[in-house]
Structure 1
Amino acid sequence: MRLGEACVTYLQNYQVLSSRDLYETRALLAELNSIDTLDLIERHASFDVSIHGVALGDLQVLHSSFGDCRIQLRTPESDNDALFMIIPTEGGGSVQHQGQNYTISTKRGMIRDMRVPLFADEDRFACLGVRLPKDIIARHCRTLLGNDMPTMDPGFEISLDLDTAPGRHVCNTLNYIAQALDDPLHNLDNSIVLNSLQDLLLTNILMMFPNSCSEQLNGKPKSNAVPHYVKRARDYIHAYAHTAITLETLVQHAGCGYRTLQMAFNAAYGMSPMAYLRSVRLNNAYNDLLNDADGAGVAEIAMKWGFAHAGRFARIYARQFGVLPSETLRKRQ
């Protein structure tokens, strides 16, 4: 389902601000250095601001709405060295940024530089947003490309076409992550799951939205699979499957870019490195279900190995072993 096509709530468990008082909202947002000015254009309109936000690893995911009204806002110049991706979920408007005018709607978003001031005229507007620190984007790009990484950090086109297949894919991915963080992952303290969601979102943004590294990201790696890369990554997976293993961690120990490593794993095992990691964790979960001396249950063992959603764990477990986790557990009992 496209964002904005249905009445969907986002991040309801992570409220930052809720107010119908324009002056209170101005003061709070100014204190956070988020805006310089905020004005209500229609005198009798229904101003009802709601902002929700949650950390996703090194990123921050937000949802904001201002009610059934038209507003104008201006953000200040800042030393915040980050980008901010805006994916509208309702309404639309116009934005002035870096000397250019942009239209935003449920079919067109944007990636803005948070250091540069912005002026926006928004009508009945709501959006999902993601704060993307530039060093984190650059680090993830290096993880994907390895030695093929250009000397310049990736720079994005400001306007985002959300009505294309790549745009819809990023929207759907962000929608999935926002819903997952709200439920069932509310209050989840599991770095394996959260880091994998961060990696998923960063990879989608870099691969799907035009940027200065798009040519390298969408091209073929310069070298084919090298067997010792596979062995290093494979041995690391087996030794540390119980910990958070991200793309960055894996390629660091493999000694090559992710795309090269992925091709090598596909050649060696018929699956990607992360699929191999999942298979190892499933095997470890199987052994725990069969042999755990502490009497841990299915949910506890699934969580231990990074599977936060019990139903999804049961499905992929059954695909790999031909039985449900509960059936394996009964053998132990």
Structure 2
Amino acid sequence: MFKNVFTFLLLISIEISVGQTLYKNQNYSEVNKTTHTYSSQGNKTLLLDFYKAKQNEQTTPLIIYVHGGGFSGGKRDESEIVSFATKLAQYGYAVASVSYQLTMKGIGFGCNVNTDKKIEAINTASNDVNLAVKYILENNNKFKIDTTKIVLSGSSAGAETVLNMVYTYKDGVLSPDFSYAGVIGMAGAITTLSNINENSAIPTQLFHGTGDRLVPYNIAPHHYCTPDSSGYLMLFGSKAIAKRLSGLGTSYYLYTIEGGSHEWASLPITQCFDEIIDFIYNDVLETESKRQTIRTINSVSPN
């Protein structure tokens, strides 16, 4: 009898301990990864990899990750992405790493590529990722995610995609009352700041190197193209987005790497995991208090 009571109390103690640190510390070891077709039209098949800890039966926040590659390359299951998604799942999150149409494959994304095609590529990727989220929402009986806690994240082209989804592009795929809970952009930018307002602003984390020559840290043309080039596209990078958010009472977390190049589009998932967890846990999940949180971190690139 005493043994049974002790075992029961021990289980309660473990559950309370996990509950107190869930999403902030590693609680699980084994992670399930499953692959799903979220869109199939003609010869276009789009997949997502879904990660969740084997023992995690709870309804959990979902982190969407969108890979980079200039809308012409990159894969959802690159080794660093798999490691990142697995580690997040060990902390208690569900993760979906999403493939999208690489419409610029064989074309590139440089100054000789028409501006309209660049914008179309970003919008197409945004639409694809929204379709992936719709698929998860419609099949939530098996995914078991908290539909009010979906966080977008992405690197380079993926960052441009997720920031575009939140602050620029609307496609009607998701219901009008749906809202993403947060967004993480790693060396990303948007084409306008005018749509960032009190109604649209959400907790935003931004990683960017000041020496990025592809996607501007502040305000500059994409790839620093000259005004007479066919690919001239003015972009508003991480600093400009943070400045816009600063006056709206919205949480943001700007991580600046002084002298950092565009490689910092991919480095945060391996070198800044703690900062990502800090943002999601404290700013998105609102476990501390409902207040504006402003974090501005300056780091120096080791390169």
User: What's the TM-score once normalised by structure 2's chain length?
Assistant: 0.27
Larger helix proportion, structure 1 or 2? Answer: 1
Q: Which structure exhibits the higher relative contact order, with contacts defined as CA atoms closer than 8 Å and separated by 6 or more residues?
A: 2
Q: Which has the larger radius of gyration?
A: 1
Q: State the TM-score, normalized to the length of structure 1.
A: 0.26
